[in-house]
Structure 1
Amino acid sequence: MEALFYSKMCDAAEKDLYAVLGASPSDSVQQLRHRYQQLALQYHPDRLKAQCSAEAESGVKKFLEADAAWRILSDHNKRRQYDIQRRAQELKQDWPVDTTVCLEEMSWDQDLCVYKYCCRCGGGFSVAEDEVQEEKHSRQQDYEKEKIEGGLHRSVIVCCDTCSLSLCVKKT
């Protein structure tokens, strides 16, 4: 059951559940319920039986999306977890990524036990091996999605120690 929930959360992360309901993250549970009820009345399969099959199929799909969104957003703990994942994804997308490098292209600093790479500003990027390993373990659940050209690619975003740029470090 727990695995099914996290699977649905991963699917939900691909869609903005608030947008599915026509709501915003600041809406209360009552406001979300109202939006869900409006969509359920509009797209419920029982109401769409008289329509042509293409319209009914589209309506059923919208109903199922709204229902899935409501199941997550109506539960306080699931909503909080979804909001955390959503915010993490927003932060990940908003970084001004300067470039992408493979871990093998970075130099190993034996004294600090970190991989280093020079930034164009003169500062540097550094990533500890355990950060790369943590990312590896967190992504193992996305195994099939992460396959690219026969290899499993993992990445971690690292910020420069001097400027606002970041670097995407890939480990293949």
Structure 2
Amino acid sequence: MSETTEKDLYAVLGASPSDPVQELRRRYQQLALQYHPDRLGNECSSEAESGVKKFLEVDAAWRLLSDQSTRRQYDLQRRARELKQDWPVDSTVCLDDMTWDEDDCVYTHSCRCGGRFSITEEELEEETQRKQEDVGEKEKEEEQHREAVVCCDTCSLSVYVIKDVKS
């Protein structure tokens, strides 16, 4: 299963995470018919071998995504991987250097594209706690600041926001 979880199982089925289970079933059936070993005949070619591998991959994806609880667990793991990925960070911004928007109750910082980076105090705290849970207790005690990566609301740039915590 570890090999299957490295790949996007929705992509294996040619589906999207928002598709209902009926759509996943339809896509699975189409691919299973296309790559089933019985349809490939008794050929020992590399084409038949890759077809069998594809069939096994499709079958494993369907087995995991067809069950509601395993699908939910997979979706959570998938989302966690997305959040942990390294984003291209344009710069580091101190929370004190950001502008407090009283109307929206968020800190904002202008992006060079004309858009803005925005984060609430609660979002910064939640992201810091999530990162601390990942690194463990020893490093948690040494943590002297809060941090989060914030994406621009217009373009693909992101900034690393930090807030020093005074002891």
TM-score (norm 2): 0.56
What amino acid does structure 1 have at the position aligned with 2:134?
E
1:159 and 2:148 aligned: yes
Name the Cα RMSD after superposition. 3.5
> Aligned residues, how many?
118
Q: CA deviation at 1:34?
A: 1.0
Go from structure 1 to structure 2 and tell me whether the alpha carbon gap of 1:31 and 1:166 turns closer, same or farther (over 3 Å shift): same
Q: How does 1:10-159 map to 2 (within 5 A)?
A: 10-93=2-85, 95-97=87-89, 120-123=92-95, 132=132, 134-136=133-135, 158-159=147-148
Go from structure 1 to structure 2 and tell me whether the alpha carbon gap of 1:160 and 1:46 turns closer, same or farther (over 3 Å shift): closer
CA distance in 1, matches of 2:58, 2:26: 12
Q: Which blocks of at least 5 consecutive residues in structure 1 are unaligned?
A: 1-7, 99-118, 138-156, 168-172
CA distance in 1, matches of 2:40, 2:31: 12
Go from structure 1 to structure 2 and tell me whether the alpha carbon gap of 1:16 and 1:130 turns closer, same or farther (over 3 Å shift): closer
CA distance in 1, matches of 2:64, 2:45: 29
CA distance in 2, matches of 1:66, 1:130: 33
CA distance in 2, matches of 1:83, 1:68: 15
CA distance in 2, matches of 1:166, 1:13: 29
CA distance in 2, matches of 1:130, 1:74: 29
Q: Which blocks of at least 5 consecutive residues in structure 2 are unaligned?
A: 97-123, 137-145, 153-157, 162-167
8 Å CA contact 1:158–1:166 kept in 2: the answer is yes
TM-score (norm 1): 0.55
Identity of aligned residues (%): 63
What amino acid does structure 2 have at the position aligned with 1:166?
Y
What amino acid does structure 2 have at the position aligned with 1:22?
G
CA distance in 1, matches of 2:25, 2:92: 50
CA distance in 2, matches of 1:33, 1:79: 13
Go from structure 1 to structure 2 and tell me whether the alpha carbon gap of 1:76 and 1:40 turns closer, same or farther (over 3 Å shift): same
Go from structure 1 to structure 2 and tell me whether the alpha carbon gap of 1:130 and 1:90 turns closer, same or farther (over 3 Å shift): closer
